[in-house]
Amino acid sequence: MRTPVIAGNWKMYKNIAEAVDFVEKIKPIADKAAHCEVVIAPPFTALAAATKAAKGSKVKVAAQDVHWDKEGAHTGDISPGMLLDAGCTHVIIGHSERRHDHGETDEQVNRKLKAALAAGLAAIVCVGETLAEREAGQTREVLERQIRDGLAGLTPPEFSRIMIAYEPVWAIGTGRTATPEMAAESHRQIRDLARNEFGEAEAAGVRILYGGSVKPENIGGLMAQEEIDGALVGGASLKVDSFAALINFPR
């Protein structure tokens, strides 16, 4: 039984006061949602305040990125220990905006992932193809490479501490969602790849979230798919009402 996860990726939105206000309002809604886990990913500047506001509730706080080193001369970067210090339990790694805006590679995703897991953080690892790759019939190949290289060297117990977010790049922030069937097909491929790399039980247990223009209006159809274990949501996670509706997705 895979407990669904509803995760909000706030990207570069919300100051500290806005983040705290959001957490205060979403806490009672998340606490009543026995059917799912709730994660929010504020920007770095609001992490400590958000985790303080979320304390004692079901709301877990994720960072949107992490560096692999414990400390060092890495201007602008944040270490796993710093995220723990800010109260984070989770971190998003390999989001397509990091891959595209910052040239992040699967190798770097792998280093970040190993460092995050070693520090005790849970990770949400993002994978997904671009429109050009989908149109060229390369979706499976891309997912295969991202899973193989991004998760390389993880032990099965380490693998059991990650979630995978399938986020087709062409669906992120575009209003264009993969149909539930398209998403489920990619999720099945990812689970097959995980089975080959990590074994039957680990593959059966890993939560695979869908991301890409998920909204209250379309989450029901997505979550009705057996293969879809939750959602990583950008735009629709920024307003309390819509995030609350996502948490209480039709069941």
48: contact with ligand PEP by CB under 6 A: no
| Residue 150: closest CA among 112, 191, 98 | 112
Looking at this protein, which amino acid is placed at residue 233?
V
Sequence-separated (6 or more) residues with CB below 8 Å from residue 205: 2, 160
144 is catalytic: no
Q: How far is the CB of 170 from ligand PEP (least distance, A)?
A: 10
From the candidates 95, 97, 104, 202, give the one annotated as an active-site residue: 95
In terms of CB distance, is 80 or 212 closer to ligand PEP?
A: 212
**CB count in 10 Å sphere of residue 100:** 12
Residue count of the chain: 251
Site for ligand PEP (CB under 6 A): how many residues? 14
8 Å CB contact between 114 and 68: yes
172: contact with ligand PEP by CB under 6 A: yes
167 is catalytic: yes
Q: Which of 42, 128, 150, 212 binds ligand PEP (CB under 6 A)?
A: 212
220: contact with ligand PEP by CB under 6 A: no
Q: How far apart are CA 190 and CA 201, in angstroms?
A: 14
186: contact with ligand PEP by CB under 6 A: no
From the candidates 37, 104, 133, 167, give the one annotated as an active-site residue: 167
Q: How far is the CB of 15 from ligand PEP (least distance, A)?
A: 19
**CB count in 10 Å sphere of residue 220:** 12
Q: Which of 108, 110, 213, 218 binds ligand PEP (CB under 6 A)?
A: 213
